[in-house]
Amino acid sequence: MTAPDPTTRGYDHVALCYADDRELLASAVPFIAGGVERGDAVMIALEPARAEVLLNAVDQPDAVTVLAIGAQYARPAGAIKSYSDLFTKLVTDGAQAVRLIGELPAPVLATAWDVWARYEAAVNYAFDRFPVSTLCAYDARTTPPAVLDDVAKTHSLLASPDGNHTPNPTYVDPPSFLARTRPTTPHPVQLRAPALELVDPAPGDARRAVVAANAGTLGPDALDDLVMSVSEIVTNALRYGLGPRRLRLWVGVGHLVVTVHDAGPGPADPFAGLLPKAGHDGGGYGLWIAHQLCDHVTLDRDASGFTVRLTMGDPHQAV
């Protein structure tokens, strides 16, 4: 395959692992130029400096929409929703196809890749209803090898230095990729004993415990979002999990970490949390809402059961 066919609905998810600006431009410039030429909606979501390099290299920079990456890549489930909303609007407004070049902010590759790896797998499914091509840029000089390994499993196409896109032989279908289990790295604050532990709390008890423990650590809106998320996750544990359900809470500088563990297997849906589930039974919405509202969410499965970890604030501040 040398170029995505914009007349065919469906998602082309292309990984671009570049070694320098020359390689970035070699793939990105023809991708953008081809899109502009066709009249596609063309967008970039890159660090400002890198966006400038790219815009200086294309013929019609005014035809390119620049998205703010801070907002766009704040949370994986939020990115799926906002991109889906954006693609829907563009197509509704008449765009025949959409081309997007994006690059995750460097810090999330180091501290939140677990959940962004799930994002990269889930979008193959979530965006497949749109005539969209995305070029996901990763700087091979600074991206950790483990991240590059996941990138190679989650993108259906690879960008070649000559600008072509070829099928990726190491691509893993999303449900298989998402079904893997990897232990979550504890946040620094979790190396201490939790400030609070509740066994089989009612959702209201859990909410009040979080509010009491916060003691001004989070601002009111962030606290309200965390309380909502905790309530939803505890509700899921009570409705669908197996006892005992155990809530643990840690208070760090400017952040709160809450884990909710139950002895059950967790949701069977591999996309749980990243995509909302239609209908309002089954627990899909609660996990999705937590992913939308919290700064970082991880899901863990091991022999003892299923654990959701909710983080609000920056867990890498001094504790």
- What is the contact surface with another protein in residues (CB under 8 A)? 81, 202-204, 207, 220-221, 224-225, 227-228, 231-232, 235, 238-239, 280, 285-286, 289, 292-293
Question: Cis before residue 175, ω within 30 degrees of 0?
Answer: no
Written as six digits, the tokens of 27 are 């793939």
Least distance CB 90 / another protein (angstroms) = 18
Alpha-carbon distance of 73 to 62, in angstroms, equals 23
Q: What are phi and psi of 128, to 5 degrees?
A: -70, -15
- CB closer to another protein, 214 vs 292: 292
- CB closer to another protein, 98 vs 233: 233
Alpha-carbon distance of 302 to 278, in angstroms, equals 28
- CB closer to another protein, 178 vs 287: 287
CB atoms within 10 A of CB 68: 10
Least distance CB 87 / another protein (angstroms) = 15
Least distance CB 235 / another protein (angstroms) = 5
Q: Is the Cβ–Cβ distance between 294 and 311 less than 8 Å?
A: yes
Least distance CB 73 / another protein (angstroms) = 18
State the pairing for strand pair 246-252/255-262.
antiparallel
Measured CA to CA in angstroms, residue 263 lies from 182, 290, 291, 307, 308 at distances of: 18, 20, 21, 9, 12
Written as six digits, the tokens of 241 are 């999990």
- CB closer to another protein, 83 vs 138: 83
Ramachandran region, residue 254 (left: φ > 0; alpha: ψ -120 to 50; beta: rest): left
Least distance CB 188 / another protein (angstroms) = 27
Distance of CA 27 to the CA centre of its chain: 24
Least distance CB 290 / another protein (angstroms) = 10
Q: Is the Cβ–Cβ distance between 96 and 90 less than 8 Å?
A: no
Alpha-carbon distance of 300 to 202, in angstroms, equals 22
- CB closer to another protein, 31 vs 119: 119
Q: Which amino acid is at 309?
A: R
- CB closer to another protein, 161 vs 243: 243
- CB closer to another protein, 228 vs 263: 228
Least distance CB 221 / another protein (angstroms) = 5
Question: Cis before residue 244, ω within 30 degrees of 0?
Answer: yes
